[in-house]
Amino acid sequence: MLSPKKQNASAQLAAQEDGPRQGREIPQAAPQTDDIPVIDLNAYLSTAADGSPSETALAECNKVAECFHRYGIILIRDPRVNMSDNDTYIDLMEEYFADVGDRFYANETISDIKPEFHYQVGATPEFIEKARNHSEKLSALNLAPEDTPESPLEPVLDAKWRFMWKIGERPDGASDDFPAVKPERYPDWEDKMNTWGGKLHSAIFTVAEMAAIGMGVEKSAFTSRMEGGAHLLAPTGSDLVKNDIGAIFAGFHYDISFMTIHGKSRYPGLFVWTRDWKKKAVKIPEGCLLIQSGTSFEHITGGYVLSGFHEVVYTEATKEAVKRRAQQFEALGINRRQWRVSSTMFTHFRNDVDIGPMAELSHLYTPDQAA
């Protein structure tokens, strides 16, 4: 748990970052996501309880559907989400990953690691996860150099840790409802995980309603299938001192989830591919969240929404951010190893849900797309 002194230093650091950050552009190897509109959930939330969204809210719902169709990602601003919670959460995970990493490589037994539960709860060490091989697809696409992944065609093991934490209730007897892992050194772990996870959970359920309305079906079309799903808060952590430019933190891949949601990371390195296979460097605006579509979304919409390919790489821009943060740490007297934390949460349909193309969405896809 962060000491009061560290919490105060972190607050100073956050305040320091909020000032100069906007006037400081980091060079990227790919176009950024600046052309993707930000969806404001406030208009929908303010009228959703009335059962009849306003025209403004309906326009935002249509934007949700269109952005998922065109880009495979959306950027949202949710008035219920306080970004200080994201900072608190990332502080926790930076400290945890640094601590557990040091102990792991000192050959300590880490009780948080649960391979017997397929790493679906607790910690996953680096170099365990690996992306599937998509070399045939990439060869067929013959992408331009600027749109080609940095990840090797032959996937390598990801240089990242992960922690899995269940969010929400599961059906009785679910075969993958494993007991939660609570690290002993962090007495406020459960509260902080549930606080941030709960906010992401609320945001994504609202977006799922908006997506359904924007696609012309009942607002509960997706959320009714998400109730009781295996929603997992699954933050990742990559050591930015041990690794260097070129390290693959997450190889070129898509998620098997319905939707994946992220808070803003403190370091760049995430790249996404849009429907037209253009590569973009993700830049989440201040106060916003990022949501990506997964394969379950692709299947149930008959290909109207495609699962979003993405990768996370240690880039020149990442290195520049590390140097800047090191200077800030020194100025504030902070002694902390730098880790790139992604506050990821996977959301899924229940295990008993048929994710085949929904007949109600047949106006959005052709039989060939749904095949």
Is the pLDDT score of 2 beyond 70?
A: no
Cα–Cα distance, 127 to 156 (Å, whole number): 8
pLDDT of residue 23: 31
pLDDT of residue 369: 74
Is the pLDDT score of 24 beyond 90?
A: no
For residue 319, the tally of other CB atoms under 10 A from its CB is 17
Is the pLDDT score of 48 beyond 60?
A: yes
Confidence of residue 353 (pLDDT cuts 50, 70, 90): very high
Is the pLDDT score of 286 beyond 70?
A: yes
pLDDT of residue 173: 79
Average pLDDT over residues 98-104: 96
Encode pLDDT of 293-323 as tens digits: 999 999 999 999 999 999 999 999 999 999 9
For residue 147, the tally of other CB atoms under 10 A from its CB is 17
Cα–Cα distance, 111 to 164 (Å, whole number): 14
For residue 35, the tally of other CB atoms under 10 A from its CB is 9
β-pair partners for 204: none
Residue type for position 296: S
Encode pLDDT of 187-204 as tens digits: 999 999 999 999 999 999
pLDDT of residue 29: 53
Confidence of residue 347 (pLDDT cuts 50, 70, 90): very high
Tell me what percent of the residues of the chain surpass a pLDDT of 70: 91
Q: CA 216 → CA 17, 65, 196, 296, 366, distances in Å? A: 42, 9, 31, 19, 16
- Could you tell me where the DSSP H helices lie in the chain? 4-18, 42-48, 55-71, 83-105, 135-141, 189-214, 220-226, 295-300, 316-332, 367-370
Q: Is 354 helix (H, G, I), strand (E, B) or coil?
A: coil
**Chain-wide mean pLDDT for the chain?**
90
pLDDT of residue 141: 96
Encode pLDDT of 243-262 as tens digits: 999 999 999 999 999 999 99
Encode pLDDT of 211-236 as tens digits: 999 999 999 999 999 999 999 999 99
Q: Provide the token pair at 174.
A: 């679910």
pLDDT of residue 18: 39
For residue 41, the tally of other CB atoms under 10 A from its CB is 23
For residue 109, the tally of other CB atoms under 10 A from its CB is 7
pLDDT of residue 94: 97
Is the pLDDT score of 10 beyond 80?
A: no
Q: Which of 7-16, 21-30, 317-326 is predicted with the least confidence, judged by mean pLDDT?
A: 21-30
Q: Which residue has the tokens 């939707």?
A: 259
Cα–Cα distance, 349 to 335 (Å, whole number): 42
> Helix 189-214 crosses helix 83-105 at what angle (to 10 degrees)?
120
Is the pLDDT score of 15 beyond 60?
A: no
Q: Are 292 and 259 in contact (CB under 8 A)?
A: yes
Is the pLDDT score of 31 beyond 80?
A: no
Confidence of residue 276 (pLDDT cuts 50, 70, 90): very high
Q: Are 189 and 183 in contact (CB under 8 A)?
A: yes
Q: Provide the token pair at 182.
A: 């609570």
pLDDT of residue 371: 66
